[in-house]
Amino acid sequence: EPEVTQTPSHQVTQMGQEVILRCVPISNHLYFYWYRQILGQKVEFLVSFYNNEISEKSEIFDDQFSVERPDGSNFTLKIRSTKLEDSAMYFCASSDTGVGTDTQYFGPGTRLTVL
């Protein structure tokens, strides 16, 4: 069964450093998403991406965040200068149509720890 994969599973970084989280969505999907989950809190939407453009972004997704689909298979989330409060699980998701009853399939997540 196709699945979304994410690397690395755990990333430890120093405050102020740049990190890139990588995702490989399901191959025929066209819509891509990043969510995050701070420990003990709810899963929060960060950004949706379609046709090489951001469709929607949340208030959390400020100028420190960027997303890119550098090739036909990867989807990345970059945090330019990490803060302590960026420590969280980051989930990538993908879906085929992005509308109606389409299903978003989530990856296993990357645990980001900012020291």
Partner 1 sequence: QKEVEQDPGPLSVPEGAIVSLNCTYSNSAFQYFMWYRQYSRKGPELLMYTYSSGNKEDGRFTAQVDKSSKYISLFIRDSQPSDSATYLCAMKKVSNTGKLIFGQGTTLQVKP
Residues that bind partner 1 (CB under 8 A): 4, 31, 33, 35, 41-45, 48, 50, 55-56, 58, 89, 91, 93, 95, 98-109, 111
**Nearest distance from residue 81's CB to partner 1, in Å?**
26
Closest CA to 110 of 3, 43, 12: 12
Min dist CB 24 to partner 1, Å, is 13
Distance of CA 115 to the CA centre of its chain: 20
Q: Which residue's CB is nearer to partner 1, number 16 or number 61? A: 61
**Sign of the dihedral through C-alpha 103, 108, 26, 29:** positive
Question: Which lies closer to partner 1 via its Cβ, residue 2 or residue 16?
Answer: 2
Supply φ then ψ for residue 85, to 5 degrees.
Answer: -75, 0
Closest distance of CB 109 from partner 1, Å: 5
Q: How far apart are CA 3 and CA 57, in angstroms?
A: 24
Q: By C-beta, is 17 or 97 nearer to partner 1? A: 97
Three-state secondary structure call for residue 7: strand
Nearest to 74 by CA among 26, 31, 24, 4: 24
Q: How far is the CB of 107 from partner 1 (least distance, A)?
A: 5
Q: Which is nearer to partner 1, 84 or 99 (CB)?
A: 99
